[in-house]
Chains A and B, each alone.
Chain A
Amino acid sequence: RKEVEQDPGPFNVPEGATVAFNCTYSNSASQSFFWYRQDCRKEPKLLMSVYSSGNEDGRFTAQLNRASQYISLLIRDSKLSDSATYLCVVSSNTGGFKTIFGAGTRLFVKA
């Protein structure tokens, strides 16, 4: 079992749609959680951190469920520019710093 698992997609959605991605992690000692966005042939860029209380940034909402060990990302009112790969990232600092990137979920938003 991978330490961080994501549905690879692709998700194909029309503009204006709401889309949700889930990510599960296996290390219960994980402390920090993030969503990164990666455009084709570009570097990953931090989209948002994920906090236990959940957090929202414009059209993007991230949730963390520690009991079930999963993280979610909700994108409302999808734009063409949201087309990218979304990477779930889990970090821990127990017994040494460790960061694991998920394989990513590809999103295509179409007009």
Chain B
Amino acid sequence: DAGVIQSPRHEVTEMGQEVTLRCKPISGHDYLFWYRQTMMRGLELLIYFNNNVPIDDSGMPEDRFSAKMPNASFSTLKIQPSEPRDSAVYFCASSLYRQITYEQYFGPGTRLTVT
């Protein structure tokens, strides 16, 4: 069974460019999460969706960040315009709600470098 799929795995871009990260969650999972990980701040939740609906985007750092989930099998995280401080590893994770547990399964991440 395929896990969470993310693309691209690596992205190098110049400041000011638009960046789009993609995620395909595990089939049947009803929650999808976007995280950012840096050495300084660790793993931070940016936004999560339930049944394709954004529930909480309070972790999104600025209006330059936006996320969509047009269907149950695809989500995007867009940064426009990108800045060097956005350099980080971005993870997508999905989960299936079972009672009160939310075991999350992570994709391999996208390593973003903004120069």
Residue numbers of A with Cβ under 8 A of B are 31-32, 34, 42-46, 49, 87, 91, 93, 96-104
Contact = CB atoms under 8 A, between A and B. Distances in A.
B43 A101 contact: yes
Interface in B27-69: 31, 33, 42-43, 45, 48, 50, 55-56
Interface of B: 31, 33, 42-43, 45, 48, 50, 55-56, 91, 100-109
Contacts, number: 45
B100 A45 contact: no
Nearest to B33: A99
A46 B91 CA distance: 14
Q: Label chain A's interface by main secondary structure.
A: strand
A100 B104 CA distance: 12
A45 B106 contact: yes
Nearest to B100: A31
The 5 lowest CB-CB distance pairs between A and B, nearest first, are A43-B106, A101-B43, A103-B42, A31-B100, A32-B101
A37 to B, nearest CB: 11
A99 B102 contact: yes
Contact of A44 (B31, B100, B101, B106): B106
24 contacts: A31-B100, A32-B101, A34-B103, A42-B108, A43-B91, A43-B107, A43-B109, A44-B91, A46-B103, A46-B104, A49-B103, A93-B100, A93-B102, A96-B55, A96-B56, A97-B55, A97-B102, A99-B33, A99-B45, A99-B102, A99-B104, A101-B42, A101-B43, A103-B42
